[in-house]
Amino acid sequence: MAVQTPKQRLANQKFAKKNEKHRKFGKKKAKGDSQTGFTISKPWLLLLAFLIIGGGIIELVSYLL
Protein backbone atom coordinates (compact mmCIF):
# COMPACT_ATOMS: atom_id res chain seq x y z
CA MET A 1 0.00 0.00 0.00
CA ALA A 2 1.22 3.49 -0.78
CA VAL A 3 2.35 5.84 1.93
CA GLN A 4 -0.15 8.61 2.61
CA THR A 5 0.63 12.13 3.62
CA PRO A 6 -1.23 13.51 6.64
CA LYS A 7 -3.32 15.71 4.32
CA GLN A 8 -4.36 12.70 2.23
CA ARG A 9 -5.14 10.69 5.35
CA LEU A 10 -7.45 13.42 6.69
CA ALA A 11 -9.18 13.71 3.32
CA ASN A 12 -9.69 9.93 3.18
CA GLN A 13 -11.10 9.85 6.72
CA LYS A 14 -13.48 12.69 5.89
CA PHE A 15 -14.63 10.89 2.72
CA ALA A 16 -15.07 7.58 4.54
CA LYS A 17 -17.17 9.23 7.26
CA LYS A 18 -19.38 10.94 4.69
CA ASN A 19 -19.66 7.79 2.59
CA GLU A 20 -20.56 5.63 5.60
CA LYS A 21 -23.38 8.00 6.54
CA HIS A 22 -24.91 7.58 3.07
CA ARG A 23 -24.50 3.81 3.15
CA LYS A 24 -26.46 3.54 6.38
CA PHE A 25 -29.39 5.77 5.48
CA GLY A 26 -29.14 6.44 1.74
CA LYS A 27 -28.84 9.85 0.16
CA LYS A 28 -31.21 12.60 1.21
CA LYS A 29 -33.96 13.27 -1.28
CA ALA A 30 -34.84 16.87 -1.97
CA LYS A 31 -38.49 17.63 -1.31
CA GLY A 32 -40.36 19.74 -3.81
CA ASP A 33 -37.80 19.32 -6.58
CA SER A 34 -39.71 16.52 -8.25
CA GLN A 35 -40.76 17.43 -11.75
CA THR A 36 -44.43 17.12 -12.57
CA GLY A 37 -45.90 17.01 -16.04
CA PHE A 38 -44.41 15.97 -19.34
CA THR A 39 -40.71 16.08 -19.99
CA ILE A 40 -41.36 16.83 -23.67
CA SER A 41 -42.95 20.10 -24.73
CA LYS A 42 -46.44 20.18 -26.19
CA PRO A 43 -45.43 21.38 -29.71
CA TRP A 44 -42.99 18.48 -30.08
CA LEU A 45 -45.64 16.05 -28.88
CA LEU A 46 -48.13 17.42 -31.41
CA LEU A 47 -45.56 17.22 -34.21
CA LEU A 48 -44.79 13.61 -33.34
CA ALA A 49 -48.49 12.72 -33.26
CA PHE A 50 -49.02 14.48 -36.61
CA LEU A 51 -46.17 12.55 -38.22
CA ILE A 52 -47.34 9.19 -36.91
CA ILE A 53 -51.02 9.69 -37.69
CA GLY A 54 -50.28 11.35 -41.04
CA GLY A 55 -47.97 8.51 -42.04
CA GLY A 56 -50.65 6.00 -41.13
CA ILE A 57 -53.25 7.83 -43.22
CA ILE A 58 -50.91 7.99 -46.22
CA GLU A 59 -50.24 4.26 -45.90
CA LEU A 60 -53.99 3.52 -45.81
CA VAL A 61 -54.67 5.70 -48.85
CA SER A 62 -51.83 4.13 -50.85
CA TYR A 63 -53.03 0.65 -49.85
CA LEU A 64 -56.60 1.37 -50.94
CA LEU A 65 -55.62 2.90 -54.30
> Among residues of the chain, what percentage have pLDDT more than 70?
77
Supply the pLDDT for residue 59: 95
Would 16 be classed as within a structural domain?
no
In a domain, 32, yes or no: no
* Number of structural domains the chain divides into: 1
Query: What is the domain extent for residue 53?
Result: 41-65
For position 37, what pLDDT does the model report? Answer: 66
Residue 56 located in a structural domain: yes
Label residues 33-59 b or e (16+ Cβ within 10 Å = b).
eeeeeeeeeeeeeeeeeeeeeeeeeee
58 within some domain: yes
Q: Is 31 domain-assigned?
A: no
Is 25 within the bounds of a domain? no
The band of 14, judged by pLDDT with boundaries at 50, 70 and 90, is: very high
pLDDT of residue 2: 79
